[in-house]
Structure 1
Amino acid sequence: MRRILIMLLGNVFLGMGVSIFKFAGLGNDAYNAMMMALSDVVGIPYARFFAIFSVGLFVIELIAGRHFIGLGTIINTLFLGYIATFFYNIWDFIFTKPGVLLTRIPVMVIGVIICSLGVSMYQRPDVGVSPYDSLSLIMDKKLPKISYFWCRMSNDVICALVAYFAGGLVGIGTVIAAFGLGPIVHFFNIHVTDKLLQTEKHSEN
């Protein structure tokens, strides 16, 4: 139950981070930037489109990466878009959107930190990964000559290009999400999530 709770909190933090990224107006991570752009093109709300598209990717995960599926997969697929929308509406109601770059950058940095904490807490308990995250893991397994880094990077680049050509916002936030989240996620793995999971192990002992 502790691992499930950590995963649930991770998805909440991840959705919050995505909403802060969007509020900063400097570009979201590649996948969410694509989801937001395509949802505008087809006229379906972002949260609903995110769930529909992710269910499509889930079919691939079900066929080629079934061992990556867990409760975390379901929660992320069906609810992350709604969590992000919920928090974005709160920020939009309470705060004035940052205008100049000097005010947008600190907001984006907060988004990076919270997203990283969310990713760490959602993935580290090992109770299932999202369909999009599983794509890189599946590619890494099926294409042993290509490292996970390049599998992930190729997927993110494709998403960023789709977002750009669909009229979405691709900016400095997208670049930082692609290259900057990893080290911060690793920091939270060691100093936050792993300690929470170790507490679980000690309780079991």
Structure 2
Amino acid sequence: MKYKRMSASLVGIILCGVSIAMARIADLGTDPFTILCTGIGKWTGLPFGVSFLCMSSLGLLFALFLKRGLLGIATIVNLCGTGFVADFAGNIIERIKAMPNMLGEKMLLAGCAFLLLCFAAAVYMSADMGVSGYDAIAMSIAVRTGKTFRVCRIFSDVLCVLAGYTLGGKIGIYTVLTAGFMGPFIQFFRERIVDIWMWGE
């Protein structure tokens, strides 16, 4: 079971990075945390992978004070790998010239990126080997306040969007989609698919 959980965590983290690359290429906005990291990158001149690492580290420190039990080996892998996987996947997509040109193509790519991101987050959360620093913030607040994860996730997403936009991040349709619906979709994938596969419940 531990091997299954570790494998699921790794797969979830890789898929998360790929979904971020897809959303950035679709150019219809990105998820709230990516907007924040992009804004930080523009403000400081840091590459996306580095700004992602820095902001994830801050989220990790925040979670350490609120709910240390949410952190684990997958937290470190996510911290060090997701941003660089996103950069790597984006470079591959650009090299094979699979760039969308029409609005319909961009919307399709953004929709696939959204579903993949929600599913990926559900997978590594359910594996229970530690969640990302950013995800841990919403989960910690949920535990502390008794509110549902979806409500706390929407709250943290909106704050990230506002901060990222202020620093130069781009807001688009995809941003609204993730800020308003990512929490509910993650919960849906966990309850209807991932938890059943992972734990048989």
Instruction: Tell me whether the two structures share a fold, i.e. TM-score over 0.5.
Output: yes
How far apart are 1:82 and its partner, in Å?
0.6
Q: Does 1:140 align with 2:148?
A: no
Q: Distance in 1 between matches of 2:129 and 2:167?
A: 33
Q: Offset at 1:153?
A: 1.8
The aligned residue for residue 70 of structure 2 is 68
Aligned residue for 1:102? Answer: 104
Structure 2 counterparts to residues 15-34 of structure 1, below 5 A: 15-34=17-36
- Quickly say closer, same or farther: Cα 1:122–1:167, change in 2 above 3 A: same
- Corresponding residue of 2:198: 197
- Give the C-alpha shift of residue 184 in structure 1: 4.1
Q: Which one has a bigger Cα radius of gyration?
A: 1
Secondary structure of the residue aligned to 1:28 is coil
Q: Deviations over 1:54-100 (max 9, x none)?
A: 11221222222111111111111111101111101111111253233
Q: Say which of 104, 114, 117 aligns to 1:115.
A: 117
Q: Per-residue deviation at 1:12?
A: 0.7
> What is the aligned partner in structure 2 of residue 161 from structure 1?
162
In structure 2, which of residues 4, 7, 10 is the aligned counterpart of residue 8 of structure 1?
A: 10
Question: Counterparts of 2:198 and 2:149 in 1: how far apart (Å)?
Answer: 25
Structure 1 residue ranges without an equivalent (≥5) = none
Assess, with a 3 A threshold, how the Cα gap between structure 1 residues 149 and 185 changes in structure 2: closer, same or farther: closer
Aligned residue pairs: how many?
199
Give how far 1:165 is off.
Answer: 1.4
* SS of corresponding position for 2:127: coil
TM-score scaled to structure 2, two decimals? 0.89
Pair 142,197 (structure 1): closer, same or farther in 2 beyond 3 Å: closer
The percentage of counterpart residues that share the same residue type is 26
Deviation at 1:49, TM superposition (A): 1.4
Question: How far did residue 156 of structure 1 move?
Answer: 0.9
CA RMSD of aligned residues (A): 2.1
